[in-house]
Amino acid sequence: MNSIKQEGMYGHILIVLLIVTAALGVYLLPLFIAGIQLFAFRFLLAVTLLLLPWLSPDLSWRRLWAPRFYFLLGVIWLTWGVIGFLWTPDTADGARELIAVGTGFLIGFIFLTLKAYTDNGVLAIGWGWSAAFLATSLIALWEVVTGHHLPSYYTLHLPSYATPDITSTFGNPNNYGAFLVLAYPFLWLSYWLTRKTFWRWLPYLFILSTPVFLLLSASRLSMTGYLLQVLALGFVSLLHPRKHIVTLLTLVISVVLIGVVASNPTLKINKKIDVARKEVQINDNNKDSLSEPSKSTDAKEKESSKIDSGGATKSEPAKKIENKEPPAQRISAIQARINLTRNGIWMIGTTWGRGVGPGGFEYFHIHRLVPLPTNGIPNPHNFFIEIASQYGILVICLFFSWYVSLFYIAFKKRFTKTGLVLIMALLGYIPVAASNSSYIPQQINWVFLASVMILASHLIALDPRSKDA
């Protein structure tokens, strides 16, 4: 790969390591100290903060409006979250969630301060995601060959259902599928920006293997995000086909691979699509037999599983409160997802737009304080609903404004490689933001948001007119 210049080299190596350890999560150097879950990513984050003054920190990014907008969002988000303690039903969970939010924005600060928005810094971002892809795909290959999985709530409680799945280090197949979509644009970034042919072949092989891993993960929303990315890449490439012959050929090969692998009728994603089609067609009263395996509501209350800010699974006992809602009824998996979204919208309305407070979404579902049943599933399964239902209209509107501003930057620079990567990343994120059970506590989610912010900052830094006077 390109040799990273001595200036900022150690900072860029740390960026790569932070992305890799974020992807490996709690499975790399796990350690409990005083009831706190620690692992490699958290250790490295702390070490990086301590070393920051000696790594030639750069604060010139403050003149760029994209990161300033990002941190304005962070300040308002955290401030409103703290105010939300006045009405949140669970202050302990709320505190853990706000720590995750604060840590997430801290990742962005560290990336910027380590000069990630420079040419070599953007290359480090690309190779960080490529290295993370390599590490997690090796574990996924081990799962395919052996049929074994790393321990997680999903694999431990649904062994027969989970056996054919691949989860890598992400706990369940949907989370792994989401990671593949988040990583995919950065694989192209590594391929395009790396000069030496030998090193370019690595991310290129990862690009070709992505659709295969996605099909094996059986994540429908992740496949949708991937197809959006492929369409965007193909459309821009077709505008200048002679310049993008390799890219177009690669996309054709990827489509062929999808067709070959997907033609297997025993592949789980085909079964899930068939089930989904039937669920849409049949009457609600007949959906019970077609829904995916799920624990009962009472079991979920007793053993509510969620992911903390590092991806660790924890359990919390059910809290006895007066239950005025009727017993939960079994519904289809698709209807449960829809009801989670409708319940989140109900939370926004019933609080007049202020949100139920940090950590409140799961509490409301665990204790059946919501109007619609969800098969006992307490997690929002939608990052945007997760934000809006807990932190209200103010925070979600700011987040959408920031996100749209990134689209604006990317569209202006759509014929540059970095601009195209940013478009692909932003498009793919929209569907996969609804595939994971809960995104706020996931460090890889915050690494992704920091990475797209870095790409936008890089594009702005290339245009002197975009800098503040």
Task: Determine contact, residues 116/461, Cβ cutoff 8 Å.
Answer: no
Q: Which of 6, 103, 10 is nearest to 52 (CA)?
A: 10
Q: What integer pLDDT is reported at residue 155 of this predicted model?
A: 82
Contact 425, 406 (CB under 8 A): no
Q: In total, how many domains does the chain have?
A: 1
* pLDDT attached to residue 57: 86
- For 283-309, the pLDDT digits (tens) are 344 433 333 333 333 333 333 334 333
Is residue 346 within a helix (H) or strand (E), and if so which, with residue range? helix 333-350
Query: Using N-to-C axis directions, what is the helix angle for 173-193 and 443-461, rounded to 10°?
Result: 30
- Report the distance separating Cα 18 and Cα 45, nearest Å: 7
Low-confidence ranges of the chain (pLDDT < 50): 1-5, 277, 279-328, 465-469
CB atoms within 10 A of CB 119: 16
Does residue 100 lie within any of the structural domains? yes
Task: Let me know the angle formed at the C-alpha of 223 by 220 and 228, rounded to the nearest 5 degrees.
Answer: 130
Cβ atoms of 114 and 57 within 8 Å: the answer is yes
In a domain, 350, yes or no: no
Classify residue 13: in a domain, yes or no: yes
Which of 69-96 are b and which e, b meaning 16 or more Cβ less than 10 Å from the residue's Cβ? bbeebbeebbebbeebeeebbbeebbbb
- What tens digit of pLDDT does each residue of 431-452 get? 999 988 889 999 999 999 999 9
Q: Is residue 118 part of a domain?
A: yes
In-domain check, residue 407: yes
Length of the chain, please?
Answer: 469
Q: Is 7 left (phi over 0), alpha (psi -120 to 50) or beta?
A: beta
On whether residue 290 sits in a domain, the answer given is no
The helices-and-strands tally (H runs, E runs) of the chain is 18, 4
Can you give the pTM of this predicted structure?
0.87
**Which contacts of 353-356 are long-range, i.e. CB under 8 A and separated by 24 or more positions?**
353/392, 353/393, 353/394, 354/84, 354/87, 354/392, 354/393, 355/80, 355/84, 355/388, 355/389, 355/390, 355/391, 355/392, 355/393, 355/395, 356/87, 356/88, 356/89, 356/389, 356/390
Residues 22 and 148 sit within 8 Å (Cβ to Cβ): no
Domain that holds residue 48: 9-272+382-466
Given this model, what pLDDT does residue 157 score? 77
What pLDDT does 468 receive? 36
State the pLDDT at residue 278: 53
pLDDT at position 242 is 87
| Res 301: pLDDT | 34
Q: Where are the alpha helices (DSSP H) in 147-193?
A: 153-157, 159-162, 173-193
Asked if residue 283 belongs to a domain, the reply is: no
Classified as helix, coil or strand, 322 is coil
Residue 390, domain member (yes or no)? yes
